[in-house]
Amino acid sequence: QLQLQESGPGLVTASETLSLTCNVSGDSVSSTDYYWGWIRQSPGKGLEWIGSIYGKMYYNPSLRSRVTISVDTYKNQFSLKLSSVTAADTAIYYCANSYSNGYWYFGHWGRGTLVTVSS
């Protein structure tokens, strides 16, 4: 069964770059069946899609200039980098996959990892 697990620092200094990795098990990150993506949730707030990758990258326009998503096929992982972070980037970050049918619904999610931006 496909499983996703986020990892990375729980504390990031303001103006620095947030870096997270999502380990994929139960399928290959090279699979053409899925887009691999990141979604975040600020404390007590709703969900915000950050971006996804399927060959090319798809980004939330509000975060486009600061986001990079990449895939490491050897480690079966994909990663998120968010630069120039501020307190507003404090959130639970989830990795998730959506199907390549283009319908953009997220069938598998990691448990999420809390990232706090400190000043």
Partner 1 sequence: SYAVTQPPSLSAAPGETARITCGGNNIRTRRVHWYLQRPGQAPVLLIYNVNNRPSGIPERFSGSISWSTATLTVSTVEAGDEAAYFCQVSDTTGDLPVVFGGGTQLTVL
Token digits for 50? 């950050």
| 8 sits near partner 1 (criterion: CB under 8 A) | no
Q: Cα(105)–Cα(100) distance, rounded to whole angstroms?
A: 10
| 46 sits near partner 1 (criterion: CB under 8 A) | yes
Token digits for 67? 């986001």
Contact set for partner 1, span 56-85 (CB under 8 A): 58, 60-61
Q: Select 14 or 21, whichever has its Cβ closest to partner 1.
A: 21
| 54 sits near partner 1 (criterion: CB under 8 A) | no
Q: Which residues pair with 92 in a beta bridge?
A: 41, 114
Question: Dihedral angle at the C-alpha atoms of 24, 28, 29, 30, nearest 10 degrees?
Answer: 170
Q: Select 5 or 14, whichever has its Cβ closest to partner 1.
A: 5
Q: Select 12 or 50, whichever has its Cβ closest to partner 1.
A: 50
Q: Select 79 or 97, whichever has its Cβ closest to partner 1.
A: 97
Question: Closest separation between CB of residue 113 and partner 1, Å?
Answer: 11
Q: Do 117 and 87 contact (CB within 8 A), yes or no? A: yes
